Each structure stands twice: as C-alpha cells, then as structure tokens.
Amino acid sequence: MINVLMCDDHLIVRQGLRQILADTEDIVVTAECDNGADALRAVREHRFDVVLLDIAMPQRDGLDVLVQIKREAARQPVLMLSTYPDKQYAGRSFRLGAAGYLNKRAGADLLTSAIRKVATGGIFVAPGQAEMLAMALAQPSANAPHEALSRREYQVFELIAAGHSVGDIAGQLALSPNTVSTYRSRILDKTGAQNDVGIAMYAVRHQLVEM
C-alpha cells in the first residue's frame, strides 16, 4: 500500500481527494493536516510514501514547507498541488526538490498516476508541462532574484506588476495595507527594483506577466 500524508487547508478539497483515493486499491490516506506546521510535524513523526502538499498553506506556505522537508528528509517524495499557473510555480517546485507538480484542475486518473509515480522514486511531469519545464529549468534565471520570493510575496509582486495599488492588493488578499507595504519592501530589496514601475519592468523582462 502507498501511504499518503495529505496537506491542504481546505476541508472540502481534502474530502474530495480522500474520496478519490478511497476508490483505489493501493493508495491510502494515513494522515492529513491543514497547515504547514502540522505537515512538518507529521513528516518528523511518521513515515509516508508520498506527501501531497498544497502550495497555498497557512502559517508556512507550501514551498517553504517543501524546502524544510527536503532539508530534514531528503528522500521523502513530495507531490505539490496547486491552483496557480504551472508556468509560475511548477519550475520553482521542482527546483526546490518536489518529485511532482499537479494542478488541482487535473482529473482523478492523473492524480493517482502521479502518486504511484513519485511513490516508486520517479518524477511526475503532467502532460503539457514537459516543454515548459525544460525551458524554465534550462534558463539561467533559475537563480534569478524573483526565485527568492515567498508565495505571498510573489502574489503581491504579480499584483504590483499588474498596476494595482497597495490598497487594492490589501483588499484582494485580505491583508492590512501595512502588511502589503512590508511585502512590497521585501520585493524591492530582493528584485533590486526602485519602485512599482521597476517591479513591472522586472516582471516584463523576465516574462512573468502577459503582455
């Protein structure tokens, strides 16, 4: 049996994933959690064949948790789940040590195939991701400044690049303006941009926004 730790902060998502996996004969969810801290605690205390890890996790985002898991248990297979565009997060996930990346819009068959693949030590690449990943991983931008942005910083980065004000971003992300301003300062420091226009130009130069 393939023992799975399922980590997602939305109960309805966990219920749906659990139902999908309950229909298989070889995959069982042996533990689940709804935040990054509990995910790390579970990995430290138990052995799992696969960790299903949502990128948008509270307390510590999924990419941060992934880095910590690989630091403490380098051989632990982690399959990242996300609603975000593959172009933005799949490459980052693989660079940080993920064994696979799957968009939540994928079907049940693809999910079970991905779990079986990474459980046996393989790397799962979804149909349509291969060429995009090959280009992303081959580019020297692998160590580009924006790679150091956290998930939340990257969200703010995208919205600033799209022309949104601090107030607009605060409303969209349910954050205080002061918190958004703090993220903005970190983004400026990490990218070397001088202002919001500089952030937008950086995003265009690195092809991180659609023109």
Taking only the tens place, the pLDDT of each residue in 37-93 is: 999 999 999 999 999 999 888 777 888 899 899 999 999 999 999 887 666 778 778
pLDDT over 90 at 158, yes or no: no
118-126: Cβ within 8 A, 24+ apart: 118/50, 118/77, 118/78, 118/79, 119/2, 119/49, 119/50, 119/77, 121/77, 123/94, 123/99, 124/79, 124/99, 124/100, 125/100, 125/101, 126/86, 126/101, 126/102
Average of pLDDT values for 181-189?
Answer: 94
Fold of 2-138: Rossmann fold (3.40.50)
Tell me where in the chain the CATH 3.40.50.2300 domain(s) lie.
2-138
Is 142-205 in CATH node 1.20.1250.20? no
Nearest to 80 by CA among 41, 131, 91: 91
- What's the pLDDT at 132? 64
pLDDT, mean over the chain: 87
More confident residue, 129 or 18: 18
The ranges of the chain annotated as CATH 1.10.10.10 are: 142-205
